[in-house]
Chain A
């Protein structure tokens, strides 16, 4: 039987379902036999779910409009500059 501490240390992987079948079965047994760990597991799962379900608030229109027009203006300028090989920008990650 796992200890509660061992269970907790694997909780993230258990919830993400990334454990090997044997470890997963051991954790599953523990959580069904230990009421405290069941509560912690259940409320951690709910914690993750409530954050995932959180819709971002719209950006206030005055900020969004200001941002969009400034951005597109900068983009146009960047496009013009890109023809000048002396203008080097720092790299962005590749996908």
Chain B
């Protein structure tokens, strides 16, 4: 689902205006509209259900108490995502504090955009797998990325923030976001191709 998706009867700017004026019912409507997306993102980053639930709670509480800071220069959901990703990264840092790999690990300029699997896909995965199966495959592939790539991919390609918004949210330069995004996309392509490639004689037709 993109941020552009439309729910009949859901008027975001009217709800935001009412929530800002102190209408808790309106705020609760906004929460119910976006909570599953925030929860998914929190799970993808923290890889932990309890942490994701905490992130969900803290994100919307912060959104509530800082609603005056939201001036409508971005979409409401983009503003919420930026709070959520920082909450999720804080959780992840806390959990990983005993590990040696920092989240903002320097990105080596080696050959990790290596392409090994060159094969066309066997029609649309949406037609081959059930929604649950596909969701699981996609999640597994994301989990295997290192956090520095994963977070950029989630913000840019799942939550559909712009490159600039992603850079600002993660406090990265535009070029760092672009380079991480490219690697994330290529690594996911590699993993998904192993899963979805056309079986049979045609699979290596291009080699």
Contact = CB atoms under 8 A, between A and B. Distances in A.
B31 interface: yes
A56 B38 CA distance: 9
Interface string A33-59: 001101110111011101111111111
Contacts of B40: 56-57
A13 B118 CA distance: 20
B203 to A, nearest CB: 11
Interface stretch (B7-15, B91-99, B100-108, B119-127): B119-127
Interface string B147-169: 00000010001101001000001
| Main secondary structure on A side of the interface with B | helix
A85 interface: no
Nearest to A93: B82
A82 B66 CA distance: 11
Interface string A65-95: 0011011101110110010000001011111
A44 B185 contact: yes
A54 to B, nearest CB: 6
A78 B163 CA distance: 34
Nearest to B38: A56
A3 interface: no
Contact of B65 (A56, A82, A94): A82
A68 B28 contact: yes
A15 to B, nearest CB: 8
| Main secondary structure on B side of the interface with A | helix
Interface of B: 1-2, 22, 24, 27-28, 31-32, 35-37, 39-40, 53, 56-57, 60-66, 69-74, 78-79, 82-83, 113, 115, 118-121, 125-126, 131, 134-135, 138, 153, 157-158, 160, 163, 169, 178, 181-182, 185-186, 188-189, 192-193, 206-207
26 contacts: A8-B113, A12-B182, A15-B185, A38-B206, A46-B125, A46-B192, A48-B157, A50-B192, A51-B188, A52-B160, A56-B39, A64-B35, A68-B28, A68-B31, A71-B57, A71-B61, A74-B57, A75-B61, A76-B24, A78-B61, A91-B66, A92-B65, A92-B83, A93-B69, A94-B69, A95-B78
